[in-house]
Every structure is written in C-alpha cells, then in structure tokens.
C-alpha cells in the first residue's frame, strides 16, 4: 500500500478514534450518574442531565484527546496491518484504554478535581468496547464485496524476474489490499502484449521494478499506461542504500528522490517541538526552587562560577553553548590531560568513576542529575530536545574514528536518552552508546519519547547509574 494512501487512512481513523474516546468519557459519566437506570438493552441517559459531568470536567477532554492518541501510538495500534489478528488488536486496545484511564485519574488528582474514580473504570471498558466494535466494522467493510471493489487493487508486476520476486515477498503484508494478477519480464514482453493484458483483466495499477539498464523500456511502458489512464508505480531501488529511507518530494516543480536516515514526518516532528517547549516550561517551574538551592550551595562551597559552559555538538555537528551547574573544580579542563590514562570509556569520550575533579556538592548534584537542570534553557532556545542523544563536546566529536558515529548528530541532542536510562555507568563501550543512540533514531516516535521520559524519572529520583 502506498504510504500516501496509508497515511490518509490512518489520519481519518485517528479522528474517528479520538471521537470514540470522547464519547466513551461522556457515556462513562452517564453510567455513573444513572447506574440505577441500567437496563438490559441500554442506558436511560438520553434527554437527562449527565449527572456530575460539569464544565469543570470538560477540561479532561483537553487531556483525553492527545492522551488517547499517544497511548494508541505508543502501543503500535496504527502500525498494525488492516487485518491484524483479533487477539493482537484486543490486547493493544485494552492496554491503551487502561493507560488513558490511569492518565485521566492522575490528572484529576493533580488538579484536585472532585468526582468518582468509578467513572474512569467505566471509561476504560466503554472505550475498549467502542474501539473494538469499530475495528470489527472496518474489517467487515473491507472484506465485503463492496469493500473489495473499492479498496482492493488489481496490479501487474513488471521487471526483471529476480526484482519482481523480491517485490512480491515485500508485498506479502498487503495481500488483503493488493491482488497480483500477473508478473512480466520487461525484457521478454512487448508493450502491445502488456496493453492487451491491461484491457482484458481491468488492471488498476502497473508496478515497475527494473534495473537502470531497462529505463528505455520502462519509459515506453509508462507512456503506454499514461495513454490508458492506468496508474504506473516505479520502484526507486536502483540505488542500493542500507540505512536511508526514500521519499519523493518536489524542488521548484522538479520531482526529487530524498534519501534520509532520520525521522521525516512533519506532524510528529512539530508535535515533538511543542512537547519540548511546553515540557521545558513545566520543568522550569517545577525545578526552579531546587535550581536556586543548587546555585546557592555551589557558590557557598566552591570558588568559581555557578554555571559551567561548554561548546557541544548539536544537529549535524553545529556547535552550541551547553549549560550545566558546575560540579567540578574550576581548572577541571586542564586536569583532564593528567587523568587521560584513567579513562574508562572506549573511544573519544572521557569518563572515569570517582573523578577527583568533582567537588563534594558536585558529586551530590551529579548523583541526582541536578547538574543537568540548566539545560532546560537549551531546550527553550531550541538547541536541545527533552529526549535525544546526549550532546558531546566538540573536540570529542572531532575525534570520531568511525564516520558512521556522526549519524547520532542527525537529530537534536537531548536531556535524556536510551543510554541515560540503560545504566549509563554500566555502558563503558562507546560503540554500545552509539548503538543505543542509533536505535533511538531509527525507531523514533512520540510514544518512544514518552517511554524514555517515564524511565528517566526513577533514574533521577534514585540516582541510578550516575557518578
């Protein structure tokens, strides 16, 4: 299935899903308010006031809509095939409904809003039921004769036999949406024969997957499809890449193939920017008092500035000034050369346990990651993100001995990352550190960001893996 069509379908389903979650919350309040009117065939809530569902509770919708979307995305709901096993769909929906309900309970508790907790139990059951019924309805529509006629494409594969065989294997996942009517070797079939087959079998689409040596024949075949009014898809795999994903874009009217190895979807990236900015503001408010106390303690216990400033490598290696609470003596950079032989981290990174340059108060700040708090300002300035690979000093980046390590610079650096929540002190091999960063980049989603943020909380509170 083309990503274009799949994304449109997912967007429509997402709006429907959010509406169903909103209806579920409304019905949950109705069930609680009118539980005594529960009959075998329905709820007697129509035409009646909805009990304790007041304007105050309306604010829950502001949390419910994005919260439900993030829960579904986190659980991989929108990554499933259309005809995923019912058991898989039910498990994902059950977890998403429970996660959303627990989140609503937490928000209500934080806002100190009145209301029975039973509402959210009803909400979890109702949202699961409505979502599962929606999935069953979609499954029935797609499998119906009308659905097959509307959504199932009759296609022909054209290209070298080896290429079409590999393409068929890749398309196995979409076998419910695509019906392969025939496969033709472009070097053995005439354009006239192909056109006759298109007429005879009412083909919707022809997919060309051919080597660049056959471009002349491909061009003629595409022109024939153009005259017939039949879609022609050209698989652009004539350049072999092991990491990059390919997308088609437009450069001043000219079609362009874009090879990218980082996240490219604009909407999640925009959402990440909004989460970064709003999250940084919240963190600044929450940690303003601890930051003030840390600043006073540093000033009283050690000569030198409160903040440590250092040039770090940002996106694509662009330097920026990163801020930290100073946790070392003022001549720490000069002493670094003398301690080089004690370095415990392989590669260009310098790290030792019980670093003698760390001050007494600095050791406490590091244990609970308080020294990193000033980087909230780097996030507000757009130089860092809440989640992303940790920024390294410019001089360490310049000493990378493997060019592939620079791919960790393809996204914004972050306050926390997979390495941070994977026992950072237990990771002594720089290649393992990079592997975790690249794993994050290759699998990035908003759900993954929230998962890492949640795993960061106990790391900070209990000082796990810090030195």
Evaluate the CA torsion angle 321, 324, 330, 335 in order and state its sign. negative
Mean pLDDT value of segment 442-454 = 89
pLDDT > 90? residue 413:
yes
Least confident window among 22-36, 193-207, 282-296, 448-462: 22-36
Q: What's the rounded Cα separation, in Å, for the pair 166 and 442?
A: 23
Give 147-203 pLDDT, tens digit per residue: 665 667 788 888 878 778 877 877 766 556 677 888 888 778 888 888 888 888 878
Query: Collapsing DSSP states into helix, strand and coil, what is residue 115?
Result: coil
Nearest-10 crossing angle of helices 446-462, 55-74: 100
Mean pLDDT value of segment 97-126 = 80
Q: What's the rounded Cα separation, in Å, for the pair 315 and 83?
A: 39
Structure-model confidence comparison of residues 387 and 410, the more confident one: 387
Percent of the residues in the chain that have a pLDDT greater than 90, as a whole number = 24
The pLDDT score that the predictor gives to residue 103 is 85
pLDDT > 50? residue 43:
no
On whether the CB atoms of residues 211 and 186 are closer than 8 A, the answer is: no
Q: What's the rounded Cα separation, in Å, for the pair 12 and 385?
A: 29
Tokens at 382, concatenated: 């757009």
A 10 A CB-CB count for 229 gives: 6
The pLDDT score that the predictor gives to residue 391 is 94
DSSP string of 441-465?
HHT--HHHHHHHHHHHHHHHHHTTT
DSSP string of 360-415?
HHHHHHHHTTGGGTTHHHHHHTTS-EEESPPPPBHHHHTT-SSGGGGGGGGS--EE
Tokens at 226, concatenated: 């153009």
Domain map of the chain by residue range? 3-145, 152-238, 266-462
Structure-model confidence comparison of residues 403 and 465, the more confident one: 403
pLDDT > 70? residue 41:
no
Give 302-339 pLDDT, tens digit per residue: 889 999 999 999 988 889 999 999 999 887 777 777 77
Mean pLDDT value of segment 127-137 = 92
pLDDT > 70? residue 465:
no
Q: What's the rounded Cα separation, in Å, for the pair 387 and 418?
A: 9
For 131-157, give the secondary structure using H, E and C: HHHHHHHHHHHHHCHHHHHHHCEEEEE
Q: Mean pLDDT of all residues in the chain?
A: 81
Give 216-270 pLDDT, tens digit per residue: 788 888 888 888 888 888 887 666 666 667 777 766 677 777 777 666 667 788 8
pLDDT > 70? residue 112:
no
The pLDDT score that the predictor gives to residue 45 is 41
The pLDDT score that the predictor gives to residue 466 is 55
The CATH superfamily of 152-238 is Cobalamin-binding domain (3.40.50.280)
Convert 269-304 to b/e letters by CB count within 10 Å (16 or more is b).
eebbeebbeebbeebeeeeeeebeebbebbeeebee
Give 355-366 pLDDT, tens digit per residue: 888 899 998 998
Closest CA to 123 of 99, 97, 105: 97
Cβ within 8 Å of residue 377, ≥6 positions away: 323
Mean pLDDT value of segment 127-148 = 84
Q: What's the rounded Cα separation, in Å, for the pair 65 and 120?
A: 15
């Amino acid at each position: 299935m083309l990503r274009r069509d799949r994304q449109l379908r997912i967007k429509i389903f997402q709006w429907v899903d959010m509406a169903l979650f909103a209806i579920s919350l409304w019905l949950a309040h109705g069930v609680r308010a009118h539980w005594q009117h529960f009959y075998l065939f329905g709820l007697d809530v129509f035409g009646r006031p909805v009990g304790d569902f007041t304007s105050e509770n309306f604010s829950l919708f502001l949390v419910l809509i994005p919260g439900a979307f993030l829960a579904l995305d986190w659980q991989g709901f929108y990554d499933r095939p259309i005809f995923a096993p019912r058991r898989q769909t039910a498990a994902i929906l059950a977890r998403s409904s429970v996660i959303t309900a627990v989140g609503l309970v937490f928000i209500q508790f934080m806002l100190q809003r009145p209301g029975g907790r039973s509402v959210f139990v009803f909400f979890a059951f109702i949202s699961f039921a409505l979502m599962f019924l929606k999935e069953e309805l979609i499954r029935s529509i797609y499998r119906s004769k009308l659905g097959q006629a509307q959504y199932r494409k009759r296609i022909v594969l054209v290209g070298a036999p080896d290429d079409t065989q590999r393409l068929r294997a890749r398309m196995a996942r979409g076998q419910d949406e695509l019906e392969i009517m025939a496969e033709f070797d472009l070097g053995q079939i005439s354009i006239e024969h192909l056109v006759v087959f298109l007429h005879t079998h009412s083909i919707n689409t022809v997919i060309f997957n051919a080597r660049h040596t056959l471009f002349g024949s491909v061009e003629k075949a595409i022109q024939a499809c153009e005259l017939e009014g039949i879609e022609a898809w050209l698989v652009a795999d004539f350049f072999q890449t092991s990491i990059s994903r390919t997308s088609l874009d437009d450069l001043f009217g000219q079609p362009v193939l874009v090879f990218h190895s980082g996240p490219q979807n604009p909407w999640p990236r925009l959402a990440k920017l909004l989460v970064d900015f709003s999250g940084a503001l919240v963190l600044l408010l929450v940690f303003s008092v601890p930051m003030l106390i840390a600043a006073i303690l540093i000033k009283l216990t050690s000569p030198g500035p409160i903040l440590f400033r250092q040039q770090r490598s940002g996106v694509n290696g662009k330097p920026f000034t990163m801020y930290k609470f100073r946790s070392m003596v003022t001549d720490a950079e000069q002493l670094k050369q003398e301690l080089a032989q004690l370095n415990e981290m392989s590669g260009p990174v310098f790290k030792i346990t019980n670093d003698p340059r760390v001050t007494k108060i600095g050791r406490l700040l590091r244990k609970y990651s308080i020294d990193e708090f000033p980087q909230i300002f780097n996030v507000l300035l757009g130089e860092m993100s809440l989640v992303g690979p940790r920024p390294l000093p410019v001089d360490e980046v310049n000493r990378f001995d493997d060019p592939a390590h620079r791919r960790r610079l393809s996204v914004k650096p972050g306050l926390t990352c997979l390495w941070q929540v994977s026992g950072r002190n237990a990771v002594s091999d720089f290649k393992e550190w990079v592997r975790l960063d690249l794993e994050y980049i290759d699998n990035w989603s908003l759900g993954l960001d929230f998962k890492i943020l949640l795993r960061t909380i106990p790391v900070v509170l209990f000082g796990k893996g810090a030195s």
